[in-house]
Structure 1
Amino acid sequence: MTLDPAQTLLTLAGLFAVGLAADQIGHRTPLPRVTLLLICGILAGASGFDLIPLDVSDWYELLSIVALTMVAFLLGGSLTRKNLQSHGPAILLISVSVVVFTILIVGAGLALLGLDLGLALLLGAIATATAPAATQDVIRQSGVKNDFTDALQGIVAIDDVWELFAFSVILVMVHQMNGSVEASILSGSIREFGGSVLLGILIGVPAAVLTGRLSGGEPLQIEALALTFLTAGLAIMFELSYLISGMTVGAIIVNRARHHTKAFHEIEHIQWPFMILFFILAGASLDTHALLKVGFFGLAYVVLRVLSRLLGGWIGAALGKAPSRQRPWFGLALMPQAGVAIGMALVAAKQFPNW
């Protein structure tokens, strides 16, 4: 397909104008701008008025990688020694508790309602995934920085690790229930996790030493973009997780770069245009007609997931001795679900095409 420069530029102008409007409305109302952008994307996409050209929609995968890698850097940057010393037990226990209770409640609930046990377990594992981009943006939009948001960012930063392993274990279990052994799935996930962390270390250590030397302790925009693209590109090349790699790089830089004053200041500045396109195109890619096909079990999935997040978040916060006033809010804050869940669903669909 030949790219039409005029049409593409006008579409981008419109999308950024929508992003500006969402930003202003979000700052004047309690409604998250992420929600506004997704709604605009649905209205502008194929399920709505079909206003977005196909060649622009095709950018979604690339934009999502760039945007999510930037989010990963920022989340990794929240894992400072100070934050881990203050909230380490709460971060660990809440993240594990939410994953465990989500699998148990969603998986068992769907099975009791009549869904095949294997499929119910797979949906329970997929339900563990969160949406780091949405959570991070709501925190940033609110302008609030306190113990709760510090702990929440730490939880979102590490829960992808538990989700990946939980999903891999469930895949193996369901294969064994169906009479086949797929231990390679689990070993592949271990390789992906270990390789992603290793890649993050190999990039993060020299980056911690080199970045920010030219501008009085703050990395330049070009340094921030180079690190983002380098991390995402190498992760994809080696079939690793750019989220885990990006978080690892961010955590290393924020803890080892003594000359930095604001290690990710420039990423915060350049992130929003990418996020606008990412969320609008995410909404545009949604097939609303597919919602009619999931019916009763789709509604049950949503209800059970909400209950599991609320219960798991509260119990994990109680075990982690988080302040009592914060305990009801962790599960609610971990409710968003998007790209990571879609990735898990695609893997599960490939392994179990009959479902």
Structure 2
Amino acid sequence: MIERLPEWLPIQTSQATVNIILLGVILTASIFADTIARRTRVPRISILMLVGIVIAVIHQVWLGQRDGDLLGGLTEPLIQLALVMVAFLLGSELKVSRLRRTGPLILVVSLFVIVGGGLLVGAGLLALGYPLVVAVSLAAISVATDPAAVSESVKENRKAGLLPKVLLGIVAIDDAWGIVVFGLSMATLGWVIGSEAELALLHALWELGGAVLLGAAIGLPAVWLTGRLRPGEPTQVEAIALILLLAGFSSSMGVSALLASMVAGSLVANLSHHHTRSFREIEHIEWPFLVFFFVLSGASVNLYQATDAIVLTVSYIALRVAGRVLGGYLSTLVAPARGKKLPGSIGLALTPQAGVAIGMALLAAERFPELRDTILPVVVASTIIFELLGPVLVRRVLRS
């Protein structure tokens, strides 16, 4: 169409200019998403993913680009940066002082929900005949919880007592454990299905051990270097530098970016006693990247194969809910004395699922590209459902 315009018009088009325009459109759409979320109480994340799915319809159906990358290679780096930010901030929640305060009760409930829920999802999908990679990947992804949805629901309810404290304590560490479980699962899968067992085992050990080493190599210098400049722009530079280094080196070294970022965040949080500004600066710049992350996650779904995953999606949702309920119920039976006061349905309050789960799905799809159109639509669809129903279930448990 542009070729038919008069020659004197200085109109040019390229992938770079199209990318800039699309990024502007996505951020503009996020403003409307915020407005709709405030007026309807529909989670922003769900709205942003629906925006991404609308973009996928336009891109794949209307324009006929079934396999084309929306941003021409820019999608993956943006998603990677968002995931690294999330993991770094989750690592900052793993303070020794906080873990001591939360005590054994929160640890017991969290581990029962993680182990019980994950095992039920994995075993259930295997029993239904799904491949080992699909079952283990979705079982690991099912561990993740949306801390924002749970925290917001607890605040809205304004209920005091043991239950709200336990829920807030669990979601503070839940995704961090989820990242560890996911990293171990991916490494184990690589070892199990690898053609050369010894080489695959070494690769798995490097992916996990290398991530810890990388996180320490970047996190320990950051403990001393960050926060020593005046507040403001220099501190933002420090935060961005940390994120870029973690994302770049983890990708080039072939280690888990989530685990490396979590290790670095935990080290900075526990050892940098002279400041906390780096975390606040990352929080200030995180949202635009999360907007790109959620929209592009929705836009990455292959609509022509999404219908094939309907049965798997329903199975995953049912098994994840059942696993959360069972794990929560069992935790109240074996928990310390105070845990007897918790409702047996506490697992229902831990059903919301959001960004980290989608990030894990994208990483699993990158590791096993042949299953991308099986895993990704399931997680995106289930996340939308859990984000819509999850807060309702949290409020129901709090009223029990």
Q: What is the TM-score of this pair, normalised by structure 2?
A: 0.73
Q: Kindly tell me: are residues 169 and 199 of structure 1, through their superposed partners in 2, closer, same or farther at Cα, counting changes over 3 Å?
A: closer
How far, CA to CA, are the matches of 2:204 and 2:325 in structure 1? Answer: 28
Offset, 1:314: 4.5
Offset, 1:57: 5.5
How far, CA to CA, are the matches of 2:266 and 2:103 in structure 1? Answer: 14
Q: Kindly tell me: are residues 44 and 74 of structure 1, through their superposed partners in 2, closer, same or farther at Cα, counting changes over 3 Å?
A: same
What's the counterpart of residue 243 of structure 1?
258
Unaligned stretches of 5+ residues in structure 2: 1-12, 157-163, 372-400
What's the counterpart of residue 343 of structure 1?
363
* Cα contact 2:145–2:175 (8 A) shared by 1: no
Alpha-carbon RMSD = 3.6
Q: What is the TM-score of this pair, normalised by structure 1?
A: 0.81
What's the counterpart of residue 303 of structure 1?
318
SS in 2 for 1:338: helix
Higher Cα radius of gyration: 2
What's the counterpart of residue 293 of structure 1?
308
How far, CA to CA, are the matches of 1:126 and 1:28 in structure 2? Answer: 36
Where in structure 2 are the equivalents of 1:321-336 lying within 5 Å? 324=342, 327-334=346-353
What's the counterpart of residue 265 of structure 1?
280
What's the counterpart of residue 24 of structure 1?
35
Match of 2:181 among 162, 172, 175: 162
Offset, 1:251: 0.8
Offset, 1:189: 2.2
* Cα contact 1:192–1:239 (8 A) shared by 2: yes
How far, CA to CA, are the matches of 1:51 and 1:122 in structure 2? Answer: 31
What's the counterpart of residue 14 of structure 1?
25
The code of the aligned residue for 1:339 comes to G
Offset, 1:237: 1.5
Matched, 1:129 2:140: yes
How far, CA to CA, are the matches of 2:70 and 2:370 in structure 1? Answer: 27
How far, CA to CA, are the matches of 1:199 and 1:127 in structure 2? Answer: 27
Q: Kindly tell me: are residues 228 and 320 of structure 1, through their superposed partners in 2, closer, same or farther at Cα, counting changes over 3 Å?
A: farther
How far, CA to CA, are the matches of 2:29 and 2:142 in structure 1? Answer: 22
What's the counterpart of residue 197 of structure 1?
212
Where in structure 2 are the equivalents of 1:308-323 lying within 5 Å? 308-316=323-331, 319=334
The code of the aligned residue for 2:47 comes to L
Offset, 1:106: 2.8
Q: Kindly tell me: are residues 126 and 98 of structure 1, through their superposed partners in 2, closer, same or farther at Cα, counting changes over 3 Å?
A: farther
The code of the aligned residue for 1:340 comes to M
The code of the aligned residue for 1:324 comes to L
SS in 2 for 1:128: helix
How far, CA to CA, are the matches of 2:70 and 2:125 in structure 1? Answer: 39
Offset, 1:194: 1.5
Post-superposition Cα deviations, 1:81-139, rounded to whole Å, max 9, x if no partner, equal 222112253564445434433453234333444x16xx2x4333112334899825546
How far, CA to CA, are the matches of 2:198 and 2:106 in structure 1? Answer: 30
Matched, 1:221 2:239: no
SS in 2 for 1:258: coil
Percent same amino acid at aligned positions? 32
SS in 1 for 2:254: coil
What's the counterpart of residue 3 of structure 1?
14
- 289-298 or 244-253: bigger deviation: 289-298
What's the counterpart of residue 39 of structure 1?
50
Q: Kindly tell me: are residues 107 and 74 of structure 1, through their superposed partners in 2, closer, same or farther at Cα, counting changes over 3 Å?
A: closer
* Cα contact 1:103–1:124 (8 A) shared by 2: no
Match of 2:200 among 174, 185, 193: 185
Offset, 1:61: 0.6
Q: Kindly tell me: are residues 25 and 332 of structure 1, through their superposed partners in 2, closer, same or farther at Cα, counting changes over 3 Å?
A: same
What's the counterpart of residue 120 of structure 2?
105
